[in-house]
Structure 1
Amino acid sequence: MSSPAEAVPRVAHDVERLCQNIGIAIQGKPDVVRQTVICLLAEGHLLLEDVPGTGKTSLARALASSISLSWHRIQFTPDLLPSDVTGVSIYNQASGRFEFKKGPVFANIVLADEINRASPKTQSALLEVMEEGTLSTDGEVYAMARPFMVVATQNPIDMEGTYVLPEAQLDRFLMKVTVGYPTNDAEAEILRTQKSGSTATSLQPVLSTADVGHMIGVVRRIEVAPALERYIVAISAATRSMSELRLGVSPRGSLALLRAARACAATAGRPYVVPEDVKAMAPVVLAHRVILQPDAELQGRTGTELIARAVQSVAVPRAVSA
């Protein structure tokens, strides 16, 4: 097995190919596209939030179309049942036994479209598969395919017909990313290229399952110095003492930031993590894991703003050694 130093340049090259291919369908959002790819390589799940029509679903479909992976789309609605997501046991008269029919969650990439339009009971059907990569039902345990990634989209919670995602559900997502409106030039390009229909479904795969598996293996071996591990812990700890926060970042959040920083380093062509990787990933990895005090919300504070303050309050390691 090659060392990370030898394998990382190939990972960075493949990431560029993947980002460019997704960029054919998602114009003017290179940072969002790269964050999506980083989330995949960190073996995490992605929550995309924004108003309707900004390309959330197209981004998820473009990612799935750009890789030779199996993928399923689930449209979350108020009447969706947990069994519609995970699967259901059906009695087979010929064999005289119940047989489990797998639901759409059994795929490499699962697009959970408008996840916050379903009831909390249905949302909770994803908790085990997102955290453990397995599904337990009728005394049996079924493993998810590898790699496995849930890409969920949601509309802002102040829009009609939406539910607030439970804290436990939010914590399962490695990243929460806001897509945002494109620039005028990018929107004009969208009109030019997609006037006959979305290009996300017509993309050709540029990477195989084996390619993605290799890239994930390299990311797992990216070096993280003890000083940087303490730096990550210090950032998380800083959020736990903020008066504006009712709930700070948990140890799971620290682990998530570590994984994302590793993937960020690999996409930049480095076999080791630097403080800039941690700073770059902190807002999208940690902001959705904190809960603000009611008075802080009334004052217009945001999780992203408070995470940025926590990062600024922690001294950056001067010497980073393994």
Structure 2
Amino acid sequence: MTLTNFSPERRSARLALAAVAVSVVLWASAFVSIRSAGAAYSPGALALGRLLAGTLVLGLLLLIRREGLPPRAAWPGIVASGVLWFACYTVALLNWGEQQVDAGTAAMIVNIGPILMALLASRFLGEALPPRLIAGMAVSFAGAIAVGLSMSGEGHASVLGVVLCLVAAATYAAGVVLQKPALRHGSPLQVTFFACLVGALTCLPFSGQLVSDASHAPASATLNMVYLGVFPTALAFTTWAYALARTSASRMGATTYVVPALVVLMSWAVLDEVPAALTLVGGAICLAGVAVSRSRPAAREGGGVAATGVPAPTAEPGAVPPAPDGSAERVD
């Protein structure tokens, strides 16, 4: 078999990796923007304003591309991810939860999410959990704890705040796992737009607060809210859906451990918050864990002969071999 037979799969894998890279960079930037917008907007108002801006941008793109409505089979996953991930997660953690606990505690608790995601994907999607993935997530989680401890200082952590962060981790994990089946039927843009719309509709009870806060908020806070809607929501969630359709949910979840390291660097560059030594070490550990989780075992020599000595089955022409994590990766 020639190398060109594998080029479509490799091209798809590289595009998926580039897409998830865009997502994690933009999501890391969201934590910086929330510092400004969150000072002027209440949690529910900020979530609604962000989702409305995202829905508007995604809706325009959907009209330009003329993609229309997704198939009926995609709707259960769209509605579930819209309510759980786009609405509940945004309000519970990114806005409300961070007001109840210090940033370090929030970071430690919410990083349970990728672990929950892997367990849910294994249970309900039948995804395999390779040893490298498990080891990488364990390393990254240890790094996230180090980052959290270094940021906590003399911070506070109310019972309500801890519960909210746990809810955020659970809704994030469940939302991603429920979104995965929807992407088998609808395009990434369709799934993201309608999930964002569902999230905005779920947050409509906060419309009064949004109008009131917007009338008093400084322009910088409102611009940051719009930024959150256009980039970390509309663009990042679309590139995430694109990548999720082409790889496993558990591997995608492990990749999000890059976010704590990026938040540290962005806060240093943009907010002039000089990180402690433990913070930098924790961020480096997070990155190392992601590298381990996304690595693949070296190919065995022997011309396609398995360790048992039995020749590997020959794939049909044009078929894509399954990924090492047990998921069938989509190829364009």
TM-score interval, normalised by the smaller of the two chains: under 0.3
Give TM-score, length-normalised by structure 1. 0.27
Give TM-score, length-normalised by structure 2. 0.26
Larger strand fraction of residues: 1
Larger helix fraction of residues: 2
